[in-house]
Amino acid sequence: MMRRIWGLMYRHLALYRRSVPRLIELMYWPVLQMVVWGFITAYLAGVQNNVASAAAGVLLGGVLLWEAALRSQMGFSLSFLEEMWSRNLGHIFVSPLRPRELVLALMGLALARTLVAVLPAMLLAFFLYGFNILKLGPAVVGFFAALVIMGWAVALGVTSLILRYGQGAEALAWSVLFGITPFAAVFYPVSVLPSWLQPVAYALPASHVFEGMRAALLENRFDAGHMLAAFALDAAWLALMGWVFLSQLEASRDRGALLNIGE
Amino acid sequence: MPALEVEALVKRYKPDRPPAVDGLTFTMPRGATWGLLGGNGAGKTTTIAMLLGLLKPTSGKVLALGHDMERDRFTALARMNFSSPYIALPHRLSVAENLRVYGHLYGVARLEERIGELAEELHLADLLDRPAGELSAGQKTRVALAKSLINRPELLLLDEPTASLDPDTADQIRSWLERYREATGCAILLASHNMAEVERLCGHVMMLRKGVVVDQGSPDDLIARYGRGNLEEVFLDIARAPA
């Protein structure tokens, strides 16, 4: 099983090993985001009041952590799309690689792409703006993990739509999480949202992560409740989206869509 | 145990359309090379896709190397392989990297040794470090064939295995396939429009038309039965016969 998972991961990692532009592309957006938000926070810190300084930390923390979810989702979805664009899915689906192994390989690739994308932005935040995300303590690992898993779950949903609707659904691979951003409480607390929208926000693991991050940054406390809620929701979304993906894969086998996917 | 047992296989893509494959039944022994022939739209691709588990049959059963392709297809797939010029290998990976990927997916032991063997036998040694996308059509066909042999399959499904190859290379590939079958007892099911190739390689031919096997037998039997000079003329007789 591990060998098959590695086989698919190797197919993608071999490309990155040889292509510096591909590696730079991975880091480009997170670093650019960090530069822009870094200047905004520098401006806010220049206002010289405590509220503005605290907001600066919350903004930079939000940018860094949200990038983990974005890169995880895109890393998964784009790895699948690359197989489709190279018209290689036919070979993969007639190999002994099980669907769950395909999913695990895509998850592994998404994690690798996330680390490559987010680590430079973290270093930039520290060296240029003096913001150290690690000051959140060990909880930061939990925050990152919860968001990476949420990225996987969303990507499974996107991939299912690509299997169902083909190339017409490709744009979702880039855009879907940006659409969720307003409800994910990345830069403001859930309480800011209208009361009817708050249950929607609380159904997302990200909202609990960012509430937990704000508790750590602003109140210097670890909110175990939000952390547990984030992982419980991750498990539920991952199970649901995993089921949707496997169902779509089976439906595609029935329709014959796997014969010409990507063409 | 036969290489393939196919029983009453039907595929209907839409309920209001005629089936693409309608009641296909055959048993293919191990060590045999069979041909699947038919014009465009006859149901060859649909049949091969169902044999590989890539397409779910509407009804019927496929047993590949004794494994039910609906319940236990991954065990069978590890012992089978497939090649088609119409499904690409990743273009930006080198030939060696492509073979490595599939070697891992098929769990091939001593992978680098196996890649070396195939490179020598299929004359790929000079191409191993070149990106697959930069190869000529004939070179790509040879690489696709190497990929399909990476796991020393017991059952090999080939779609147009010598498409785009010059006559000399195509002849070498056919000879190599014959030797591989004799040495390993691999069963080969071949879909091809090259009738000379089918005549040379196949001991048994199934003629498909509108999803139904309209005739079958050895190439010599078919040629004699239709009173023709070669398999191509038999093919044309069957393809042009009134429905």
**Which pLDDT belongs to residue A105?**
96
- Flag if A259 and B90 touch (Cβ within 8 Å): no
For residue A252, give the chain B residue with the closest CA.
B55
Nearest to B141 by CA among B84, B69, B202: B84
Instruction: Give A14's contacts in chain B (Cβ within 8 Å).
Output: 93, 97, 100-101
- Which of B45, B88, B147 faces A259 most closely, judged by CB atoms? B45
- When scoring A2, A8, A11, A261 by the number of chain B Cβ atoms within 10 A, the one with the most, hence best to mutate, is A11
User: Among A225, A224, A223, A226, which Cα is nearest to A215's?
Assistant: A223
Topology (CATH) of B4-79+155-240: Rossmann fold (3.40.50)
Nearest Cα neighbor of B180 from B154, B206, B202 is B154
Supply the range of the domain harboring residue A190: 2-259
- Number of residues that this document lists for chain B: 243
Residues of chain B with Cβ-Cβ distance to A87 below 8 Å are 87-88
Per-residue model confidence (pLDDT) at position A166:
81
What single-letter DSSP state applies at residue B134?
G
Helix, strand, or coil here: A221? coil
10 Å CB burial of residue A231 (0-12, 13-18, 19+) is: middle
- Taking the Cβ of residue A128 and every Cβ of chain B, the question of whether any pair is shorter than 8 Å is answered with no
B203 Ramachandran zone, left/alpha/beta (phi>0; psi -120 to 50): alpha
Q: Are B94 and B132 in contact (CB under 8 A)?
A: yes
| Cross-chain residue pair A8–B91, CB shorter than 8 Å | no
Residues of B in contact with A11 (CB under 8 A): 90, 93, 97, 101
Nearest CB partner across the interface for B104, out of A6, A88, A93 = A6
Chain A contact set for B53 (CB, 8 A):
94, 253
User: Which chain B residues have a beta carbon less than 8 Å from that of A86?
Assistant: 88-92
- In chain A, residues with a C-beta closer than 8 Å to the C-beta of B88 are 86-88
Inter-chain contact B105–A14, Cβ cutoff 8 Å?
A: no
Q: Using a CB-CB distance cutoff of 8 angstroms, which residues of chain A are in contact with residue B77?
A: 94-96
State residue B92's pLDDT score: 87
Q: Return left, alpha or beta for B41; rule: phi > 0 is left, psi -120 to 50 is alpha, else beta.
A: left
Give pLDDT < 70 ranges for chain B: 243
Q: Check if A189 contacts B (Cβ < 8 Å).
A: no
The ipTM value here is 0.86
pLDDT value for A49? 56
* pLDDT score, position B241: 75
How far apart are alpha carbons B5 and B84 in whole angstroms?
22
Q: Cα(A189)–Cα(A21) distance, rounded to whole angstroms?
A: 37
* Pairwise CB contact (< 8 Å): A90 & B92: no
Name which of A95, A252, A263 to mutate to probe chain B: the one with the most chain B Cβ atoms within 10 A of its Cβ: A95
Q: Looking at CA atoms only, how far is residue B18 from chain A in angstroms?
A: 15
Query: CA–CA separation, A127 vs B73, rounded Å?
Result: 53
At A263 the pLDDT is: 45
Tokens of B67: 């494994």
Q: Residue B85's pLDDT is what?
A: 74
B93 to A250: CB separation less than 8 angstroms, yes or no: no
Give dist(CA A208, CA A231) in Å, integer. Answer: 9
At residue A194, the 3 state secondary structure works out as: coil
Domain with CATH 3.40.50.300 in chain B: 4-79+155-240
Nearest CB neighbour to A3, from listed B46, B49, B104 = B104
**Total domains, chain A:** 1
* B147 contacts A255? CB cut-off 8 A: no
Give every residue of chain A whose pLDDT is below 70, as ranges: 46-55, 260-263
Rg (CA), chain A: 19
pLDDT digits (tens, 9 = 90+) for B60-82: 999 999 999 999 999 999 999 99
pLDDT tens by residue, A196-225: 999 999 999 999 999 999 898 888 888 999
Query: Which positions in chain B touch A10 (Cβ < 8 Å)?
Result: 97, 100-101, 104
CA distance B212 to B18: 11
Say yes or no: A51 contacts chain B, CB-CB below 8 A. Answer: no
